[in-house]
Amino acid sequence: MRNPDPRPPPGIVPVTPRLYRHPHGITAVDCEYLYAGHAAAHVIEDAGRAAIVDVGTNASVPYLLAALFELGIAREAVDYLLLTHVHLDHAGGAGRLMQELPNARALLHPRGAPHMIDPAKLIAGSKAVYGEQRFQRLYGELVPIPAARVQVVQDGERVTLGARTLELIHTPGHAAHHYVVIDQAHASIFTGDTFGISYRSLDTANGAFITPSTVPTQFDPEQHLASIDRMLGYQPEAMYLMHFSRVTDVPRLSVALKEQIVELARIARAHAADADPAAGIRADMLALWLGLARHHGVRLSDAEIEHALAGDLQLNTQGLIAWLARIAAPKAVKS
């Protein structure tokens, strides 16, 4: 359903969205989270119907609505918000956006759905990671999604969008409540954070540079490796990442990603007994990434590379420490 009215519909803040048009009816929309080129939502359009994969924060909503208008997609034509997981850079704006999309359903992993219907625990956990002030600055007040508009998706569940079928498979490792969206007819997967992070500022003549995301609180290296292998079983030609959009050369990137996951787990274990494990983990992670970036042909200075990856260095370090604490905790004995 296309919007024939050339005027922006009510409620759109006058913003200009940054759009990146890809094959097969896929458009990336910059969520303008932290800075341009950091987080991308993806609009999939097929036979007059649309879905949005991940949505950014409350502050991203005006850009997504403006993108729909620029693409000629009526709000009533959006059938799904496909929320790969409920980390707030991916799903923080979902409740606010749903208020503007009257026919959309939010599709969520069984573990994630309750936290979008009642976000109290999600808010508390995020404040523990970011702190009260930074949480408010980044995410604001989360809007709950009415339970009647939430669809819980099981592993391998399929949904129809226009003339295409999308398969949703559970992919733990980055988060226990993560799924990815398989568009097998177009050899594409929308990966959330399971296939890592690849900023376009670090691209070179050798292609994309990729790093894993081991953020708090559910990183699990063995599950993460298995999830990557499961995605590779679909033989994708393109991966659509939240951070940041389309990458190809999937076999090379998958090897790089898996090697780094193994190495980051090793680094974490090596510093587990340190007085300040965070300092050692961050330093070794930075050294690893600088070496890999130089080998990849990145010409930015060390300081510029560190700046580009600063947020990931911090969150990955916190996630690795949380993982160390989890694997060190004594297992409950079953009676």
* pLDDT recorded at residue 131: 87
> What phi and psi values does residue 197 have, to the nearest 5 degrees?
-130, 135
Residue 24 in this model has a pLDDT that exceeds 50? yes
Integer Cα distance of 240 and 26 in angstroms: 10
Q: Which amino acid is at 163?
A: A
Lowest mean pLDDT among 93-102, 214-223, 322-331: 322-331
CB-based contacts of 177, cutoff 8 Å, min separation 6: 85, 86, 108, 109, 110, 111, 112, 218
Determine which helix (DSSP H) or strand (DSSP E) holds 79, and give its type and residue range.
Answer: strand 78-82
Residue 14 in this model has a pLDDT that exceeds 90? no
* pLDDT recorded at residue 257: 98
* pTM, 2 dp: 0.94
Res. 123 pLDDT band, cuts 50 70 90: confident
The domains found in the chain, sorted by start residue, are 19-254 (3.60.15.10)
Pick from 139, 136, 142, 97: which is nearest to 121 by CA?
142
Res. 1 pLDDT band, cuts 50 70 90: very low
Pick from 24, 55, 40, 41: which is nearest to 237 by CA?
24
* pLDDT recorded at residue 239: 98
C-alpha 107 chain-centroid distance = 15
Integer Cα distance of 116 and 180 in angstroms: 18
For the record, the structure tokens of 313 come out as: 């260095």
Lowest mean pLDDT among 2-6, 145-149, 265-269: 2-6
Lowest mean pLDDT among 130-144, 236-250, 304-318: 130-144
* pLDDT recorded at residue 4: 45
Sheet holding 26-30, edge to edge: 19-22, 26-30, 40-46, 49-53, 78-82, 105-108, 150-152
Residue 5 in this model has a pLDDT that exceeds 90? no
Res. 335 pLDDT band, cuts 50 70 90: very low
Comparing 306 with 9, which gets the higher pLDDT?
A: 306
- 33 three-class SS: coil
* pLDDT recorded at residue 11: 57
Provide the β-strand partners of residue 26. 22, 44
Crossing angle of helices 132-139 and 120-130, rounded to 10°: 120
Integer Cα distance of 295 and 305 in angstroms: 13
Res. 331 pLDDT band, cuts 50 70 90: low
Residue 52 in this model has a pLDDT that exceeds 80? yes
Across the range 266-287, mean pLDDT stands at 98
Pick from 170, 178, 279, 251: which is nearest to 219 by CA?
178
Residue 322 in this model has a pLDDT that exceeds 60? yes
Integer Cα distance of 191 and 245 in angstroms: 10
> Residues of the chain with pLDDT > 70: what percent?
95
pLDDT tens, 145-168?
999 999 999 999 999 999 999 999
Q: What number of other Cβ atoms are within 10 A of residue 21's Cβ?
A: 10
Q: What number of other Cβ atoms are within 10 A of residue 278's Cβ?
A: 14
Lowest mean pLDDT among 125-139, 263-277, 280-294: 125-139
Integer Cα distance of 76 and 100 in angstroms: 9
Integer Cα distance of 128 and 209 in angstroms: 30
pLDDT tens, 84-93?
999 999 999 9
Integer Cα distance of 304 and 178 in angstroms: 31
> What phi and psi values does residue 48 have, to the nearest 5 degrees?
85, 0
For the record, the structure tokens of 131 come out as: 């702190």
CB-based contacts of 241, cutoff 8 Å, min separation 6: 40, 191, 192, 193, 195, 196, 197, 198, 247
Res. 266 pLDDT band, cuts 50 70 90: very high
Across the range 48-62, mean pLDDT stands at 97
Integer Cα distance of 183 and 80 in angstroms: 15
Determine which helix (DSSP H) or strand (DSSP E) holds 158, and give its type and residue range.
Answer: strand 157-161
> Residues of the chain with pLDDT > 90: what percent?
87
* pLDDT recorded at residue 184: 96
Provide the β-strand partners of residue 80. 51, 105
* pLDDT recorded at residue 121: 87
Residue 300 in this model has a pLDDT that exceeds 50? yes
Comparing 334 with 183, which gets the higher pLDDT?
A: 183
